Structure 1
Amino acid sequence: MTIASAAGAKIYIGTTVPASNETAFAADIYVEIKEIEDLGELGDESEAINFASLGDARVRKLKGARDAGTLVLVVGRDPLDLGQIAAKAAEKTSFEYNFKIVANDAPDADHTSSIYYFRGLVMSARDNYGQQNNVVRTTFNIGINTAIIEVPAEEEA
């Protein structure tokens, strides 16, 4: 199978210990943020640099700085979940934290799932109570400040 469902994906918050490669990220200590409803999107996008040439009246485009975006994580609010508690505490600081996302995309029982690592700031932690028959949710905006390291699904040793 070449595609996978998002169901079963997990996200974890780590420490503020700087990590810049797969080994350093994997060595960190993580706490799962549970009750995920929406894991959002992440990935690099280059800023467009435009130049308009007078000679041929043509706009030329160059790739500028890369931005991995802001991950919008929506969870069912659980005031006792250690991962949500850690993310709310991280929002009160100006420190970058390590994050790990584990997809549920192992092609079969002999393979592991893909893992994504990155560092980011928890920019907000907003509770949404909504209407009468609504599940109370918390939305965490995580500003990603590093390249995203993807460890693809692979055969287990």
Structure 2
Amino acid sequence: MAVIKHNTSTLSIGTTASANGLAAFEADTYETIGQLNEIGEISGERNIGSIKDINLGRMIKFEGSYDPGSIDCVFAYDPNDAGQQALIDAHNGGGYNFKYTLTNGEAIYFRAYVPKCAIGTGGDGDDHVMTLNVILARDKGIAVMAPAPEAP
């Protein structure tokens, strides 16, 4: 089993073009968002519903609605970065395509809204930088995974 590190992975923002499969995601154009410092997990989960059955003396659980989840990201703020500017513009509304490229070349595609895009002031002291704190709220099911390109 190969371990994949994330130290040279990139996050890119695409367009608002509807993408429902790998071919559509790959056909979009993407701008790399620079200065990525942290990215949360890319996952979703199903809510669990339950009802108490007094006759049986137990809880009955069932699978509920699917929540595609949200991804928290932190960037070192760079007002001259085209990818960060595209992310700030995306905060004005609409769903966008995103591409997270792993170190081994695999790509994870997903659609998301940008409900939060805030500039952090950096805190106390000279060694802090301003940040761009973003939430990507995924709006569709499971992220689409593209395999790494084959080596020549």
TM-score by length of 1: 0.89
1:6 CA drift (Å): 1.5
2:130 aligns with: 136
Q: Distance in 2 between matches of 1:4 and 1:78?
A: 27
Task: Please tell me whether residue 96 in structure 1 is matched to residue 90 in structure 2.
Answer: no
1:155 aligns with: 150
The Cα RMSD (Å) is 1.4
Aligned pairs (5 A) from 1:1-157: 1-92=1-92, 94-104=93-103, 106=104, 113-129=105-121, 130-132=123-125, 133-147=127-141, 148-153=143-148, 155-156=150-151
Q: Distance in 2 between matches of 1:47 and 1:68?
A: 11
What's the secondary structure of 1:95's corresponding residue? coil
Q: Distance in 2 between matches of 1:103 and 1:9?
A: 5
1:156 CA drift (Å): 4.1
TM-score by length of 2: 0.92
Q: Distance in 2 between matches of 1:26 and 1:38?
A: 24
Q: Distance in 1 between matches of 2:84 and 2:99?
A: 14
In structure 1, stretches of 5+ residues that fail to align are 107-112
The amino acid that maps onto 1:120 is A
1:40 CA drift (Å): 1.2
Q: Distance in 1 between matches of 2:48 and 2:7?
A: 34
In structure 2, stretches of 5+ residues that fail to align are none
